[in-house]
Amino acid sequence: MPTRPAPIPFDPSFEVAEEDEEKSILELIETLRSISEKTYADSGHALRSVHAKSHGIINAELRVLEDLPEALAQGLFAQPGSYPVVMRLSTTPGDVLDDNVSTPRGLALKVVGVNGPRLPGSEGDVSQDFVLVNGPTFNAPGIKGFLKNLKLLARTTDVAEGLKKGLSFALRGIESVIEKAGGKSATLIALGGHPETHILGETFYSQAPLLYGRYVAKLLVAPVSSGLVALKNAAIDMTDRPDALRAAVSEHFASSGAEWELRVQLLTNRDTMPIEDASIPWPEDESPYLPVARIIASAQPTFSEKSNDASDHALAFSPWQGLAAHRPLGSIMRARKASYEMSRRFRAEHSSAIPAELEVRAEVED
Ligand code: HEM
């Protein structure tokens, strides 16, 4: 078997603040808040600033694999064991759109009941969250670039839905031309150019790195059960079906379970695997994603208006809710701390369902 380069232990010098980072983060928070304020004024509901629409909440079990080598047996994955996990599927915009405005997809995981020293601000929590999107890289290298994209998105928050549908249809056309020419436009996809495919066939990535115990890693969740693998790139008819993704997830889980693998990619080369630029994929030929856990779900109801009110709005995920051993790293990750806190606070202040860890614990224990 070829020997791979050893993972590089983390050193604080790996993180370098962006120029004017604090100022950009404040502007980012202001822009995110303006999105939630607009959707609240329009709908009377306090929604997440991004990833507002939920396509299903799945209760599952995370099983840490046995006999992991030292480099992979870190943090939450240091010991074999099993934990309840709550999973929320979403799409990226801050407003709740018909699914034929097709956008990137998110998967947030809350692994409940983990032990160990916690991240600052998360001392009272009980979970380890992983907050993922269905592409290997982020749409901008750092905070300034993301702020530019977000401002463009924020300007579309109030645009009439009919217009967005037209825009989305046109963008999918343009996107497929760009893809045929060998490129992919993250901005066009974010505005509605994502292919109309089944959300359960997706692989979800952390995109940005996190501490992995002594080391540094990126992380993904990939479908492995045959029922899920068959849904990869499976087309979904979204014509006149505003909640087609929600229906597709419910339909799958009405009769079947699902199994995913959680894999990590260890940082082994500081030149090709940057921490401060989340738009660069780490080469998988240098360091492949390796399995550390399985996530197993049984057949179950995944969405109802009642459960949406009771649990979706009460749930709050953040990469900064978790163990110190999995501290998020790099500028995009640093910007997420105060951003998620703001969005969670906005939802708590404007809604009767308070996003809190305690509610999750109660749900899981029921
Ligand atoms: C500077 C970069 C980013 C900012 C400012 C940001 C901000 C936010 C905010 C404010 C929320 C709503 C949180 C809530 O109200 O509970 C959110 C949700 C979410 N974000 Fe990010 N995000 C960023 C990058 C990312 C990245 C890199 C990913 C994944 C690769 C990601 C995936 C998600 C997902 C999946 C959700 C929905 C969580 C849920 O289901 O509740 N975000 N983001």
Q: How far is the CA of 69 from the centre of ligand 1 (A)?
A: 31
Integer Rg of the chain from CA: 19
pLDDT of residue 135: 94
DSSP H helical ranges for 156-235: 161-180, 186-190, 226-229
Out of 30, 36, 48, 50, mutate this one to test ligand 1's pocket (max ligand atoms within 8 Å of CB): namely 50
* Ligand 1 pocket residue status of 51, Cβ below 6 Å: yes
The closest-lying atom of ligand 1 relative to the alpha carbon of residue 344 is 15
The answer to whether the Cα torsion of 145, 148, 152, 158 is positive or negative is positive
SS3 53: strand
* d(CA 28, ligand 1 centre) in Å: 12
Ligand 1 pocket residue status of 220, Cβ below 6 Å: no
- What's the 131 CA to ligand 1 centre distance in angstroms? 7
Task: Look up tokens 């004024």; give the residue.
Answer: 41
* C-alpha separations of 201 from 25, 233, 258 in Å: 33, 6, 11
Structure tokens at 353: 């369902």
Backbone angles phi, psi at 156, to 5 degrees: -90, -5
314 token code pair: 């009460």
Residue 213 has a pLDDT of 98
pLDDT at 217: 98
Q: What is the CA 361 to chain-centroid distance, rounded?
A: 21
Ligand 1, atom 10, lies closest to the CA of 340
Phi and psi, residue 275, nearest 5°: -95, -35
pLDDT tens sequence for the chain (366 residues): 567 899 999 999 999 999 999 999 999 999 999 989 988 988 888 999 999 999 999 999 999 999 999 999 999 999 999 999 999 999 988 888 889 888 899 999 999 999 999 999 999 999 999 999 999 999 899 999 999 888 877 877 665 555 555 555 555 554 555 455 555 666 666 666 788 999 999 999 999 999 999 999 999 999 999 999 999 999 999 888 999 999 999 999 999 999 999 999 999 999 999 999 999 999 999 999 999 999 999 999 999 877 676 677 889 999 999 999 999 999 999 999 999 999 999 999 987 655 655 344 334 433
Structure tokens at 170: 């046109």
Of all helices (H) and strands (E), which one includes residue 340? Answer: helix 331-349
Q: Is the CB of 344 under 6 A from ligand 1?
A: yes
pLDDT of residue 304: 82
Q: Ligand 1 centroid to 50 CA: how many Å?
A: 7
Ligand 1 near 295 CB (within 6 A) = no
Atom from ligand 1 closest to the CA of residue 343: 15
Closest Cα to atom 19, ligand 1: which residue? 51
Determine the topology of domain 12-365 in CATH. Answer: Catalase HpII,  Chain A, domain 1 (2.40.180)
Q: Where are the alpha helices (DSSP H) in 60-160?
A: 143-155
